[in-house]
Structure 1
């Protein structure tokens, strides 16, 4: 039977606390530097290559919030600033900086329609672009936005990352898997590979890890072997790979063609129960391999 997942109030509070980082990042090209020479004296100005190789800025929540994967290839520098830095910039320069963020395709940018009427400070101007009026979020603005407006925005936005529809949790699931099935994380990092290894091992700490493909396949092969059969039994693991053998997704079969599954590593991606046909449709461009417990 179909059901719809909803984040709990506690989960929403955690999302709101973590989603907009406490320090601001602004992505620019070298030609923009001269526009902010005086302002940059109160911030850090980091070359793009150094920024993306710096351990501090590789944190998963920074990468998810600012959507590093979608940034323009034209980014050459990153301004790292304290939360109140942008509030001290002249309004005209602030508007230019926020417009640049739209051009650089930075994360934390939303249509103004995502915000309830009257929920933004009166002096907060939207950025006009090809898609209409957008709001570029930064730490100080997020702090001044009401809880209800933040919750409404995140609920709307989260559903762009993942479908909140799922199958009901089977009654026969082990208690430890039931605890997480059809729920949302409160922190970023957990992905499909950690969810699968958790379901196999039922070691709770493992579900919160951000596991990469080589670690996953080595661990999987300790307990499971590749099979040729297309007949699913409880405990099987489905793995979708590219033609070159790169793992794109994995999921754990809990029985009756239902899988314990997670898409992506954001806290907007729930751990949920999903049917095999739907999984196959989502990952049909890749080759399916089945692994069975030894």
Structure 2
């Protein structure tokens, strides 16, 4: 396994981020969502390197085979971890792709580190601009929704992960967009995360305001969101991105759930390849 050092924990132990680096060409860095690992990008890692792209995917601290410190799950620290990846591999003119929670890392990195080394950004099913409903964010999600998530994690994290995985991919009584194998694989990834990281990152993506982070982004940007996303509802996220990232190209996937890197893998791969290689990505509905 390959690792990148991203500082030390409170006890002086090195924090190591598990990563993979495939292909040659213009660099694309993939940032996974909560509570999975970089293995979630399996279909993108299998396709994008075929198109003149160098694809790097890493696992956030606390998850998968990366180090699991007790602290450091705020977005400033996570953006610093992303910087460690870009600096260690000396990547230039990067296309940053953040899925779900990973979209927050993209936004915070761009503001905290001035967009260094980055040429383009992509937000896929992202938690940006700000999920939590507050007095100055009336279009957000009610706090009770996130409180329920934390209560269910505390009660039985593994049961929560199995239930969450079904919603993640749009499973329902009349809808079976993925196989049991995908659900089992996804649960296996999520179960490797530490309890503390799962809890702390749940607070981070729910409670962090990225509106100012987004407004400083000047590079080309692409926003992709599924219209039937029940995990990060499009009305609370994708539809609001244009208020803060007015130059972005916005694509919606008709009927797609949150985990569209699996359910819409061919469509997503096509759009990422087009954007990263300088092709034309059509805005609007992409059914």
**TM-score normalised according to structure 1 size:** 0.27
**TM-score normalised according to structure 2 size:** 0.28
Larger Rg: 1
